[in-house]
A and B are shown apart, each in its own frame.
Chain A
Amino acid sequence: MHFRIYRYDPDKDAQPRMQDYQVDLEASDRMLLDALVRIKSMDDSLALRRSCREGVCGSDAMNINGKNGLACITRLSDLKEPVEIRPLPGLPVIRDLIVDMSQFFKQYHSIKPYLVNNDPAPEKERLQTPAEREELDGLYECILCACCSTACPSFWWNPDKFVGPAGLLQAYRFLADTRDQATSERLDNLEDPYRLFRCHSIMNCVDVCPKGLNPTKAIGKIKDLLVRRTA
């Protein structure tokens, strides 16, 4: 199978380049990550992140034939040749397929991604009905792979000011939690022409999310909360 992979090592390359690999795959190589691991066994200089190889750790996000996704759950049989692989767009490249995710995590941290509840902790659990808990479905499953935010034009233009779909999905995860008491601070934190309102519902985020989550919908719900608050 034919792969064309983005290569750049600042230690020795002046410019990034695309490198072609022709690989004999074996029957056990089913996912793109299997092929990349095989390529790495022949050329140890290829640098990529990977860990769980089952789509839950979020390490191996990359741009595959023009679309962001996780290599470990992308079937080789679904890919057109030559398979063109690039690092996630919009973030600085450290080396090869490894990008600098600082900006992405900075935005995630900016939404205070933790439960705020200042009441003294009860002896038992804080109660939550199954229906209340269901509000968190489609939100808590995010794996922070950055496929969505790096597919978002608004995030490309303003990565320092726009929280981005991943961060906003998590912002709503805490707004939607009946145990959280910081609703108004969270909304204050987002009521800003850039932080929330740079989202123009382009929906690239929904299209690429490897976990099938819907950040655009969550962003809409945050906007609703803001409208309701001023009404």
Chain B
Amino acid sequence: MAIAIRKFDAVIVGAGGAGMRAALQLAEAGFKVAVVSKVFPTRSHTVAAQGGIGAALGNMGEDSWLWHMYDTIKGSDYLGDQDAIEFMCRMAPQVVLELEHFGMPFDRNDNGTVYQRPFGGHSQNFGERPVQRSCCAADRTGHAMLHTLYQRNVRANTHFFVEWMALDLVRDAAGHVLGVTALEMETGEIYLMQARATLFATGGAGRIFAASTNAFINTGDGLGMAARAGIPLEDMEFWQFHPTGVAGAGVLITEGVRGEGGYLLNRNGERFMERYAPTMKDLASRDVVSRAMATEIKEGRGCGPEADHVLLKLDHLGVEVVEKRLPGIREIARKFANVDPVKQPIPVVPTAHYQMGGIPTNYHGEVVAPRSGNPEAVVPGFYAAGECACASVHGANRLGTNSLTDLLVFGKASGERMAQFLRENPEHRDLPSDAADRTLMRLDRLESQRNGESVHQVGADMRRTMQAHCGVFRFPDLLVEGVRKILEIAERAQRTEIKDHSKVFNTARTEALELDNLIEVARATMISAEARKESRGAHDREDFAKRDDENWLKHTLWFKDDDRLEYKPVHLKPLTAATFEPKVRTY
């Protein structure tokens, strides 16, 4: 079957913060760029970010990119690459100010500058005391940022392919990336989007878990596509459980609540974070707070009839502060927890939130993979940015606000790098004759499958398995059994059957194709987690309770072929600063 080919200079998959920031860079430089997105750009999951963007503007008191860098490295439990982290923290003020110039409605101080709030793990003078570094628009920062970036792209005439789902990466025999295949959802037609440079900005895959703060669309499409095309996935064992998801609903309550002065209570009314993190208390990094909460619950000090959550108290902040700084939280708490937080505390539990790992890149956004002895050889024509990428700036645990910083910094950096590549490589490479074969086979399989299982059933089993076997605390027997179960579910995922065979906006088909991607992420996560015999950041093992720098200060690489694992060194050498040597982490 011949499929239609559309030719561009660059194709960007995903129209969240990273994709749109990169698109802007390319569109404004005059390149013909196509942005392919499953959803209208402002529906991308960046929209749900609440608390702010981390950048050492110093508007609220002394701050420096070096302190931000230290906090990020410490937050990463020393697994982050220090060159990439230096790059991000140095660039952060510039990209935030650019966003302000684009029209971002940041909150303001009396002197007219951008308001910044305290956030978990961000400190002054290398951990001395909390610092106000999070640049925010109330508790709707992601929404304001995503709309601002979309608006700026409207101005730049960026070409969006809205409700198009990318299906597979196209590579030639030499390994060059030449674009993607994509499904136009409204018509059911398949296209080959040919490009000289391809960027994945497809976001996370939190939907591998049963309870997640993530949107339905967060199905790890970029990771699935990369894995099927032979690209490894890095550090997939590291998943952030956000301390404050609404109990039962999973909806996110920003850390900004604690930044503005809220705190956590156990069933005895005790502010327990004082015991776990004497200096930073409720503003310790997320892995630390989530573990503390899970420990309180495990030891019987949880709240409610089932003692299965803790309480987030903010009524002491007063209606005025809540209405001004946290209006969205009040709305969410009323809707999803049936409490008005200006009067009652919000029941919260640690909830799967963010994937620290992803497609391996360097700090220019170029995808790197092992080749002939070089663990980080550039994959020509291929770029990744944002949550789907692993630069690695978040290491084993991301600090709050650094996700939006990551999107802006690496969205822009990859856009610039792609522009340079496009200038140096003016010709399209020839498409191999089998360019669309993998996609066509997948679609063919799905259309012709009979007596298969429903996508819903297989997906539910995957989510339950991930939740039960790969949560905040990880146990050796559960991990081993989890690997066995996930491989079994992955087998079943190859025989899913859909009843709906319509050409028009067939969401049964897109959900089946999404499951193909989720399952790769689940496999990578479980297998990488079982193999890492230490506790670091968000990866906490009962049988190896301590961080082990001697054996495990290294990045995991998972390959889909045979579920093979390789490891590569952490970049301990920053670009200009002195190395921050790993040390014991206390908050």
Residue of B nearest to A113 (CB): B151
- Contact between chains at B500 and A45 (CB < 8 Å): yes
Enumerate chain B interface residues (CB-CB to A < 8 A): 39-40, 42-45, 47-48, 97-98, 100-103, 105-114, 137, 140, 143-144, 147, 151-152, 154-155, 186, 215-217, 248-249, 251-252, 328, 331-332, 335-336, 454-456, 498-500, 502-508, 511
Q: Does A11 contact B (CB under 8 A)?
A: yes
Residue of B nearest to A52 (CB): B215
- Contact between chains at B216 and A50 (CB < 8 Å): yes
**Contacts of A160-201 to chain B: CB distance below 8 A:** 174, 177, 179-180
Q: Does A126 contact B (CB under 8 A)?
A: yes
What is the CB-to-nearest-CB distance from A230 to chain B, in angstroms, rounded to a whole number?
28
CA of A3 to CA of B331 in the docked complex: distance in angstroms?
Answer: 27
What is the CB-to-nearest-CB distance from A101 to chain B, in angstroms, rounded to a whole number?
7
- Contact between chains at A73 and B505 (CB < 8 Å): no
Cβ–Cβ < 8 Å partners of A226 in chain B: none
- Contact between chains at B456 and A9 (CB < 8 Å): no
- Contact between chains at B108 and A133 (CB < 8 Å): yes
- A32-54 CB mask vs B (1 if < 8 Å, else 0) is 00000000110111011111111
CA of A122 to CA of B217 in the docked complex: distance in angstroms?
Answer: 38
Pick the 6 closest A-B CB pairs, nearest first.
A115-B103, A127-B112, A44-B508, A45-B500, A114-B151, A41-B456
Q: Does A129 contact B (CB under 8 A)?
A: yes
Q: Does A24 contact B (CB under 8 A)?
A: no
Residue of B nearest to A122 (CB): B101
Cβ–Cβ < 8 Å partners of B216 in chain A: 50-53
Residue of B nearest to A125 (CB): B100
> Known: A54-B48, A129-B112. Contact between A95 and B39, CB under 8 A?
no
Cβ–Cβ < 8 Å partners of B511 in chain A: 44
- Contact between chains at A115 and B454 (CB < 8 Å): no
CA of A180 to CA of B97 in the docked complex: distance in angstroms?
Answer: 16
Q: Does A225 contact B (CB under 8 A)?
A: no
Residue of A nearest to B109 (CB): A130
Cβ–Cβ < 8 Å partners of A28 in chain B: 248
- Contact between chains at B504 and A56 (CB < 8 Å): no
Q: Does A57 contact B (CB under 8 A)?
A: yes
Cβ–Cβ < 8 Å partners of A122 in chain B: 101
**Contacts of A51-96 to chain B: CB distance below 8 A:** 51-59, 73, 75, 94-96
* Known pairs A57-B45, A114-B152 / 5 extra A-B pairs, C-beta < 8 Å: A30-B249, A44-B508, A52-B43, A94-B505, A95-B502
Cβ–Cβ < 8 Å partners of A128 in chain B: 108, 112
CA of A127 to CA of B114 in the docked complex: distance in angstroms?
Answer: 8
Residue of A nearest to B498 (CB): A44
- Contact between chains at A52 and B151 (CB < 8 Å): no
A-B contacts, 24 of them at CB < 8 A, read A11-B504, A28-B248, A45-B500, A51-B217, A52-B43, A53-B216, A56-B47, A56-B328, A57-B45, A58-B42, A59-B40, A95-B505, A101-B40, A115-B102, A117-B101, A124-B97, A125-B114, A126-B101, A127-B108, A127-B111, A128-B112, A133-B106, A140-B147, A141-B140
